[in-house]
């Protein structure tokens, strides 16, 4: 019996889509399809941009920064203490590489232009670095061969009107001297040998890279460094918090050890929350489009009253009749949702390629729109849309139960 019912449903579905009258091209059906396509496209674009933004931001943060940081309570780690750290870290299988870093703040000056900056002294000559320093050098040279060589963030260079080969000064109150003429701040002349471009506004507008020794001298911590940075193997990046706690214990809590998760967890938690809030809000577009589904199904039932009456006369149950109309609507919805998702992908790709609209880096961290298409997001959009269409379809289907055979045939 079930097989016969399925065959009847398939027969009417084939009849609907292959009918010479092209019933599926009627205004109400096309209006329903268009509403679903627009709403699903909008939702697809929104999730693709959120997924892309989250992935690009995470990748940039993990490239520009290391995965784990080791600090000392007195703000510097002496070279002698580095031996203990080297011994422990070299024995850890989770570590890809590690290195000493000097970080300090200063002002950068070129003629009358002055901007705040972050000085980073690195062991640039090491084959492997805990940060992707070389990857982001887009002009000039990454090598800091001389004491006054510097690689500067391209946005900072632009604000200071600096070009390759130009000289500028870094100024700091650390080590300032009191003279008869007042407080004399510490200054150092540097030469631009390269420009740094990570794609993140915060770093491109502040970073100045020096060799480790020069930065240590400028920060008044010779033969010392500010912290040790660690880069983990790819499989262990998400376990950075646990490893930081583990190594802190192994070092008898003599050092403060934090991970990239510790510094950025709130940001990514907020992004996920915003993503699903946007998803819920934009899902109301599909809910609004489902009103067209209700209207289309109700109109079709009224137009097919005679056929429904005849089928009821031959003993066709209300359940089977409802199944026919429901399956027809679901097939149309699947088609419309798929087209909507494809259009959404194309629109999102276009937004990532276009140049006339860019993000404000000082607000959104990144200055370019990134998109990402995940199977999970695709499936969630499909299932959510189908669920809304299904629920909307069941509302007018109740009219079939109220149709009386005698009244339908008498009116015809």
State percent of the chain over pLDDT 90. 24
3-state secondary structure the chain: CHHHHHHHHHHHHHHHHHCCCCHHHCHHHHHHHHHHHHHHHHHHHHHHHHHHHHHHHHHHHHHHCCCEEEEECCCCEEHHHHHHHHHHHHCCCCEEEEEEEEEEEEEEEECCEEEEEEEEEECCCCCCCCCCCHHHEEEECCCCCCCCEEEEEHHHHHHHCCCCCCEEEEEEEEEEEEECCEEEEEEEEEEEEEEECCCEHHHHCCEEEEEHHHHHHHCCCCCEECEEEEEECHHHHHHHHHHHHHHHHHCCCCEEEEEHHHHHHHHHHHHHHHHHHHHHHHHHHHHHHHHHHHHHHHHHHHHCHHHHHHHHHCCCCHHHHHHHHHHHHHHHHHHHHHHHHHHHHHHHHHHHHCCCCCCCHHHHCECCCCCCCCHHHHHHHHHHHHHHHHHHHHHHHHHHHHCCHHHHHHHC
Predicted local confidence at residue 1, as pLDDT = 46
Specify whether the CB–CB gap between 32 and 336 falls below 8 A: yes
Predicted local confidence at residue 230, as pLDDT = 92
The answer to whether residue 77 scores a pLDDT higher than 80 is yes
When pLDDT is averaged across residues 334-345 and rounded to a whole number, the result is 90
When pLDDT is averaged across residues 380-392 and rounded to a whole number, the result is 89
pLDDT band at 60 (very low <50, low <70, confident <90, very high): confident
State percent of the chain over pLDDT 70. 82
Predicted local confidence at residue 361, as pLDDT = 58
Better-predicted residue by pLDDT, 199 or 121: 121
pLDDT band at 158 (very low <50, low <70, confident <90, very high): very high
Q: Lowest-pLDDT range, 7-16, 300-309, 315-324?
A: 7-16
The answer to whether residue 410 scores a pLDDT higher than 70 is no
When pLDDT is averaged across residues 78-91 and rounded to a whole number, the result is 83
pLDDT tens digits, one per residue of 359-371: 665 556 676 777 8
Domains of the chain, by residue range, sit at 2-61+267-411, 65-263
The structure tokens listed for 67 are: 């995965």
Q: What rounded mean pLDDT belongs to the chain?
A: 82
Predicted local confidence at residue 16, as pLDDT = 52
pLDDT band at 289 (very low <50, low <70, confident <90, very high): confident
Predicted local confidence at residue 153, as pLDDT = 93
Residue environment code for 342-371, b if the CB has 16+ CB neighbours within 10 A, otherwise e: ebbbebbeebbeeeeeeeebeeebbbebbb
Specify whether the CB–CB gap between 361 and 56 falls below 8 A: no
pLDDT band at 202 (very low <50, low <70, confident <90, very high): confident
In Å, what is the CA distance from 313 to each residue of 4, 309, 310, 321, 370? 17, 6, 5, 12, 59
Predicted local confidence at residue 152, as pLDDT = 95
Specify whether the CB–CB gap between 199 and 61 falls below 8 A: no
pLDDT tens digits, one per residue of 348-362: 888 888 777 666 655
Specify whether the CB–CB gap between 176 and 183 falls below 8 A: yes
When pLDDT is averaged across residues 144-166 and rounded to a whole number, the result is 92
Distance of CA 217 to the CA centre of its chain: 39
């Amino acid at each position: 019996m079930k097989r016969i019912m399925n065959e009847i449903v398939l027969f009417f579905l084939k009849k609907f889509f292959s009918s010479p009258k092209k019933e599926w091209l009627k205004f109400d059906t096309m209006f329903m399809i268009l509403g679903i396509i627009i709403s699903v496209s909008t939702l697809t674009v929104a999730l693709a941009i959120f997924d892309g933004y989250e992935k690009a931001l995470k990748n940039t943060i993990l490239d520009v920064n290391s995965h784990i940081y080791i600090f000392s309570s007195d703000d510097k780690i002496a070279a002698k203490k580095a031996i203990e750290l080297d011994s422990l870290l070299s024995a850890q299988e989770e570590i890809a590489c590690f290195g000493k870093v000097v970080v300090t703040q200063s002002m950068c000056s070129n003629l009358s232009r002055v901007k705040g900056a972050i000085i980073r002294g690195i062991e640039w000559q090491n084959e492997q670095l805990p940060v992707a320093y070389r990857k982001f050098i887009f002009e000039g040279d990454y090598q800091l061969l001389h004491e006054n060589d510097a690689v500067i963030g391209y946005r900072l260079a632009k604000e200071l009107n600096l070009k390759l080969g130009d000289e500028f000064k870094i100024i700091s109150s650390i080590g300032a001297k009191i003279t008869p003429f007042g407080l004399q701040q510490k200054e150092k002349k540097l030469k631009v040998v390269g420009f740094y471009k990570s794609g993140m506004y915060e770093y491109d507008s502040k970073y100045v890279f020096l060799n480790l020794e020069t930065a240590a001298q400028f920060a008044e911590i010779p033969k010392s460094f500010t912290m040790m940075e660690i880069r983990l193997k790819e499989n262990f990046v998400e376990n950075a918090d646990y490893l930081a706690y583990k190594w802190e214990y192994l070092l008898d809590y003599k050092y403060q050890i934090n991970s990239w998760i510790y510094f950025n967890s709130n940001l990514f938690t907020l992004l996920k929350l915003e993503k699903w809030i946007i998803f819920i809000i934009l899902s109301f577009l599909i809910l609004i489009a489902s009103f067209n589904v209700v209207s289309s199904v109700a109109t079709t039932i009224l137009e097919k009253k005679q056929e429904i009456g005849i089928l009821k006369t031959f003993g066709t149950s209300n359940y089977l009749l409802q199944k026919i109309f429901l399956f027809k609507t679901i097939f149309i919805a699947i088609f419309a949702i798929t087209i909507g998702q494809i259009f959404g992908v194309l629109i999102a790709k276009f937004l990532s390629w276009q140049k006339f609209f860019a993000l404000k880096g000082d607000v959104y961290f990144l200055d370019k729109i990134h998109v990402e298409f995940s199977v999970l997001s695709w499936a969630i959009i499909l299932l959510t849309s189908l669920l809304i269409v299904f629920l909307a379809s069941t509302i007018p289907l109740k009219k079939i139960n109220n149709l009386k055979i005698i009244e339908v045939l008498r009116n015809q």
